[in-house]
Every structure is written in C-alpha cells, then in structure tokens.
Amino acid sequence: MPKKAEAPASFESALQQLEQIVSRLESGELPLEEALNEFERGVQLARTGQQTLQQAEQRVQILLNDDKDAELAPFTPENE
C-alpha cells in the first residue's frame, strides 16, 4: 500500500504542485504506473484545495453574519 503523501505547506504550494502534475501528465511521457501515482496525488491535492477553499468561504460567511447589512461584492484589487 502506498504511503500517504504529506500535505503541502500552503494552498498556493498545493496549487503549484497540482499544476506541475498536470503538465507531467499532459506530456504523455510518463510510464503508466508513474502516471497513475501522479494522478492519485493530483486528486489528493485537488480535494485538499477544495476543502481549504470551503473553509475560507465559511470563515467569510461567519464574519459577514456579524454584520447583517454587509453585502458580498466581487474583489477588485486597487492596483488594477
């Protein structure tokens, strides 16, 4: 049984790892067993990232619940 891979240090590093995995898989140059291992790791990273995003959304909702008049609005960076 393969050992469970460690979780990345941050959401951003997980996303970067996932992008690298996708690139390697899209290259079509990996042997089947290695491709399957990479795919499995990618699924784990995607699930972890989704969970992190859901937790962040819940935190935002909790903060907004304190102010019943607060409205959700799209984020627009000031330097754009």
Q: For 59-78, how does the pLDDT look when each residue is reduced to its tens digit (9 = 90+)? A: 888 887 776 666 767 767 66
Using CA atoms, how far residue 28 sits from 10, 17, 18, 44, 79, in Å, is 28, 18, 16, 21, 40
Strand ranges for 1-80 from DSSP E: none
The predicted pLDDT at position 80 comes to 46
Distance between alpha carbon 5 and the CA centroid of its chain, in Å?
Answer: 15
pTM for the full predicted model = 0.68
Q: For 13-33, how does the pLDDT look when each residue is reduced to its tens digit (9 = 90+)? A: 999 999 999 999 999 999 999
Does the pLDDT of residue 79 top 60, yes or no?
no
